[in-house]
Amino acid sequence: MSAMRPVNLAMEWRARRQRELLKIKGLFVAFVSGSALSILSLAAFALLIPDLRVEKARQETILKALIDAPEESMPPFEAADLENARARCQEFSLAVMATGKTVPLQAWLEEMQAQFEHESGWSVNLRGGAQDFEAIKAYSERLRTVGLFTEVTPSSVNRGETDGASRFEIRLIAPSQASAEETE
């Protein structure tokens, strides 16, 4: 037989009551601390609002100054530098146009390398192919007759073994306005 323990109802009731009071006390502390944190954050935000207004006014002032500022009509470059750059762009465009427009129907360009050298002007290397040597010769003559290039030198010409097409490399020199003025 198992021994039965006597139940003390008063002690049991008191223990249950204390547990309930502890739960209520914990909930109350959580509520009070949450309320205190909310009030503190509202107070901090209220103190921050004037700073936000000052920052907004400062940003609006800067934006208004940027909008009202007169635009600079000229970039911060010297007029001589701009003129020199324009001349070089035109010279390069002419060299590209001359090399592209004078290609015979039997020839094609594969690569063009252009380099500006201050002493001599534009140095252009052309690589391409043609169906026969006559097309390469005609292309070289056309480049000479354009009058833009002071030097037209076929660097290499060889015939491909598999397809029978000829490969060529031509070096061109186009004097620049600046290099022409320096030599005078």
CATH of the domain at 135: 3.30.70.2830
User: Where is the domain boundary, 22, 41, 70?
Assistant: 70
Instruction: Write out pLDDT tens, residues 111-149.
Output: 888 888 878 888 889 899 888 888 888 888 888 888 888
143 neighbors 96 (Cβ within 8 angstroms): no
Percent of residues, the chain, with pLDDT higher than 70: 91
Residue 135's domain comprises 79-183
Instruction: Write out pLDDT tens, residues 155-183.
Output: 888 887 777 788 889 998 888 765 556 55
Phi, psi (deg, nearest 5) at residue 170: -125, 135
Which residues, including other chains, have CB under 8 Å from residue 180's CB and lie 6 or more apart?
121
Which helix H or strand E contains 126, and what residues bound it? strand 121-130
Phi, psi (deg, nearest 5) at residue 49: -55, -45
Q: How far apart are CA 27 and CA 31, in angstroms?
A: 6
Same domain, 99 and 162: yes
In a domain? residue 6:
no
Same domain, 53 and 144: no
Same domain, 83 and 171: yes
Same domain, 112 and 146: yes
| pLDDT, mean over the chain | 84
As a whole number of angstroms, the longest Cα–Cα distance in the chain is 131
Residue 179: what pLDDT? 55
Q: Give me the number of domains the chain comprises.
A: 2
Same domain, 84 and 163: yes
52 burial (CB, 10 Å; 0-12 / 13-18 / 19+) is exposed
